[in-house]
Structure 1
């Protein structure tokens, strides 16, 4: 699986390290050092993944994330890198549209494992796949398209991965850890709180009233489940 990866990092040594790791695994990597260049490059050559430093000059990582999310019907996967490690920073990054979030310093092996997990989840599979349905919600994994009541639902790759897993097994109760495994390929209890942000965002997109969900339900003390509508579950 050869991917086109955009690396937006103003630390030249870090950027070169990431570029070499990507090239070693057979990927094509382009490096930029500021936020405006990252936006321009992503618009010109839609990458399969953006590895995005938060503290970029000009437009910071949050700003780049927002612009790219507004630009794309099918969003570009984004892995955010930052020296900030508080829960508020994590949740803000995910709420802005990042699919994964790594704090510096990080292990090069873990970085590449995260990149592989995102690419496996988001790049088009070679075999055909079926459109899945749970009530009013449908998911087409091959085309990376979700709908609700016949209307397209724009999801980040992380949100799409959660919705795909839950539509495939309507009524099943998923723990946060299980959903985290689907979104990132890692069971990391320290970031399970991020799943709540994805669920909150999905409710805004598929619920008639996100404050009173009838499709994407909380199972208190356990996790979440997707049901067909008001009469199910």
Structure 2
């Protein structure tokens, strides 16, 4: 599970790292709302934890931007010292999925994060056709197409396409893709590069403009044909 924590209290942040990382979670963090927004726009996360009281851009405003501007469906859990109904309503109205009042139990936080991710996966798995820039993928039927042209992939290829489409047009890091495809049992060889090459052959070769881009030293993304990637390299 990859988690983004946006929290400006260094003690709480240290406690979260100390609890979550030994459980095998990959944790990124930001101490301001704008820094959190930047990380969320550049990376794919399974769940986001937001403090309400943040400098610059508070948690409620950040959650609104995640939903309205970035169009992210990533589950959001909000942390706050305020437990009034009005405060909770503001968080939920902004697009939060859950609320936890400080001080909180780390064990309860863990349970809530797991539940949020399970529910998100369940929603995505049931009739959730993914679409972006002429690419359509139905995970239930394992069918994909671009501009109406059928794309045939392996099981791993479909899983890779799903990860990239779910984040498009944002960059998905190599580490995130490898975790999604193989979990902790990652192959030693450069298997990801091989699968990216196969996906590119199926997704881009029949068309004039490529949509699958390699961002050198970072990862990959699917972007509209007229969107120039920040950098491009071979598979």
TM-score, normalisation: structure 1: 0.52
Deviation at 1:46, TM superposition (A): 2.2
Q: Deviations over 1:75-98 (max 9, x none)?
A: 121000000000011111101100
Over 3 Å counting, the alpha-carbon distance change for 1:24 and 1:89 in structure 2 is: same
Q: What residue in structure 2 maps to residue 96 of structure 1?
A: 94
1:131 partnered with 2:124:
no
User: How many Å separate the matches in 1 of 2:50 and 2:10?
Assistant: 13
Q: Deviations over 1:187-207 (max 9, x none)?
A: xxxxxxxxxxxxxxxxxxxxx
Deviation at 1:141, TM superposition (A): 8.8
Deviation at 1:71, TM superposition (A): 2.9
Q: How does 1:1-233 map to 2 (within 5 A)?
A: 3-123=1-121, 131=127
User: How many Å separate the matches in 2 of 1:110 and 1:81?
Assistant: 12
User: How many Å separate the matches in 2 of 1:39 and 1:62?
Assistant: 12
Q: Secondary structure at the match of 1:114?
A: helix
TM-score, normalisation: structure 2: 0.52
Deviation at 1:130, TM superposition (A): 5.4
Q: Secondary structure at the match of 1:98?
A: coil
Over 3 Å counting, the alpha-carbon distance change for 1:74 and 1:11 in structure 2 is: closer
Deviation at 1:123, TM superposition (A): 3.4
User: How many Å separate the matches in 1 of 2:42 and 2:126?
Assistant: 31
Over 3 Å counting, the alpha-carbon distance change for 1:142 and 1:5 in structure 2 is: farther
Q: Secondary structure at the match of 1:23?
A: helix
Q: What root-mean-square deviation, in Å, do the aligned CA atoms of Structure 1 and Structure 2 show?
A: 2.5
Aligned length: 132
User: How many Å separate the matches in 1 of 2:90 and 2:139?
Assistant: 27
User: How many Å separate the matches in 1 of 2:10 and 2:140?
Assistant: 37
Contact 1:21 1:112 in 2 (8 A): no
